[in-house]
A and B are shown apart, each in its own frame.
Chain A
Amino acid sequence: MASRRSTRHDGDQGVRFSRTLFIALLVVSGALIAFDRPASRSAPFASFRAGFTDVSAPLLDLVAQPLRAIKNIGPYWRRQGELAQENARLRQQLIEARYWEDLAYRQRDRIEVYEDALDVESAAIEDRIGAWTVADPRGPFVRARLIGRGSEAGIRDGYPVINLYGLVGRVYETGRRSARVLLLTDLNSRVPVMADRSNARAILVGDNSEFPRLDYVGRAPDIEPGDRIVSSGDDGILPRGLPVGEAVATRDGGWRVRLYSDQAPVDFVWVWPFRRVTPPDQEVEAEIPATEGPLIADQLVIEPAADSSGEASSLGEDADQGAGNGAGDDVAASDGTATEDNR
């Protein structure tokens, strides 16, 4: 069998891994793993990763283009027989959608009237930013997509990402010309959601399965199979009402969600530049330094008649606002408690 073996005489024999270099690389690998944990990733690591994806995104986009061209071949051939039926169904949906469109316009006008009356400035609805998926690694460690637009297009970390059918995930790593989107199915994904029918709150927890889990639903949740699950906006990061999926009961009594966004490949997506509406109590909190409220209140108690009435009045207002803030904190705390109780 020796004749069937390689007869290398060009210096390949005796090639060995340098022990020093090998150990050094092992140490570097270990250090990278220790310091590049997603939960505690430092800014230099994040910016390095974003810079790398910026460089690689054009190349990946080039490769993705022919794949996009053939993406519909499978569904096209498979669905030829269903087209007539689907067409009829779509026409029916269009009729229903026109009713909802009218309703939406009426609601928008009403909201504008209310906002004018209350002098409330809601977040401006900015144009969504369209982007193509340029990389879709199916790794065991992260469920994420790389999209071909970044901070130059106005994308920032935390912005929700949607496709034609519903919420896909949110941006978590933004480069100048690329951004990485954490999918709802990823292990690290946590999104507050609610049932559209009953407003029953829950947290959508990704576990790398196709059907993310609903946690913190309480002992007797008001959720039924098929309920439409939408984002609740409780975290202030995602807007309220983004369609997420349908509730599905599991055999062990738990709940999972069949994602709307899975109805089509996550190919072209929109990034929504969502800015949270600051609640009025937090606006006041932002204007007054945190330490001033209690100090002024103390002064009022200790030196009630020290200043003129006008100044006392203004201090009194501040004190009220401070108390208001405290009340707001209590409300927030009670909310948190309620969430824990639900669990």
Chain B
Amino acid sequence: MRKPTDRNSPWLAATGCIASVLVALIIQASPTRLVDGLTIMPTWTLMAIFLWANVRPHFMPPIAVFAIGLTQDLLTGAPMGVWALAYLVSISVFRFRGEDGMPRDLPPVLLRFGATLLLAHGIAFAAGSFALEQMADLQPLVIEIVASILMFPLPAYLVLRRRRSRGSGFIGG
């Protein structure tokens, strides 16, 4: 019988999922510009959603993706629904499907994440422009995309490494 504190416990995985998404959301909204020279912010939230949606799909159903996007909208002051829609569509289109799930090699994961990122930001740009009734600012979106592409290999590598070492899955897998 599994103990609640067992590393293989699904509760631990669920806690990890919630904590990582929460931290990503808070970092996304935190006043990092206070720190000198730190002005570029990758989309940590999308990284967390993408990894969990592929490693543990049960933890990232559409309603969770929607709720996370909506929370980000509210925290960042964006019109409600923009990031909710962007994450929902992009994750549903580009998540790994089938019995094999997410590959354990980095390149296909990076490619799939890049496509997810581009689609999510494209939708966010269109939806945000519609909500603002004028063209949204493209520059921060491009910076976010570049920063995310540069930063994503690190968490993806850690996740894949952990999956390989544990044989059957991610935390608690």
Contacts and interface: CB of A to CB of B under 8 A. Distances in A.
Tell me, yes or no, whether A binds B: yes
Interface of A: 1, 4-18, 21-22, 25-26, 28-34, 36-39, 45, 49, 52-53, 56, 59-60, 63-64, 67-68, 70-75, 78, 133-142, 144-146, 173, 180, 187-188, 208, 265-267
Contacts of B127: 33
Contacts of B169: 6, 8, 10, 12
B4 interface: no
Nearest to A40: B133
A87 to B, nearest CB: 21
Contacts, number: 206
Smallest CB-CB A-B distances: 10 pairs: A74-B36, A32-B81, A136-B31, A137-B76, A29-B85, A15-B57, A208-B137, A33-B81, A13-B99, A36-B80
B33 interface: yes
B30 A141 contact: no
Given A39-B133, A45-B80, A140-B125, A4 B140 contact: no
Q: Determine the main DSSP class of A at the interface with B.
A: mixed
A19 to B, nearest CB: 10
Given A25-B63, A135-B29, A56 B75 contact: yes
A7 B163 CA distance: 10
Contact of B131 (A36, A52, A173): A36
B39 interface: yes
B169 to A, nearest CB: 6
Contacts of A75: 36
Contacts of B28: 137
B77 A71 contact: no
Interface string B135-173: 011111100100000000000000000010001110001
Interface string B27-57: 1111111111101010000000000000011
- Chain A CB count within 10 A is highest, among B125, B131, B138, for B131
Nearest to A135: B29
Contact of B77 (A31, A60, A139, A187): A139
Contacts of B103: 4-6
B86 to A, nearest CB: 9
Interface in B117-136: 124-125, 127-128, 130-134, 136
Given A38-B131, A74-B35, A137 B98 contact: no
A50 B40 CA distance: 27
A4 to B, nearest CB: 5
A133 B79 contact: no
B62 A138 contact: no
A138 B171 CA distance: 32
A29 B88 contact: yes
Contacts of A10: 168-169, 173
B62 A18 contact: yes
B98 to A, nearest CB: 7
B34 A49 contact: no
A10 B138 CA distance: 42
A144 B79 CA distance: 12
A290 B163 CA distance: 74
Nearest to A72: B36
12 contacts: A6-B100, A7-B167, A26-B85, A56-B75, A63-B26, A74-B37, A78-B36, A134-B31, A135-B29, A136-B33, A139-B77, A139-B78
Contacts of A11: 58
Given A49-B74, A60-B29, A180-B77, A141 B100 contact: no
B18 interface: no
A142 B77 contact: yes
Contacts of A266: 33
Contacts of A15: 57-58
A15 B34 CA distance: 42
B170 to A, nearest CB: 10
A38 B130 CA distance: 11
A16 B53 CA distance: 11
- Chain B CB count within 10 A is highest, among A12, A60, A267, for A12
A112 to B, nearest CB: 40
- Chain B CB count within 10 A is highest, among A30, A60, A141, for A141
Given A33-B80, A36-B81, A135 B30 contact: yes
A140 B124 contact: yes
Contact of B133 (A37, A52, A74): A37
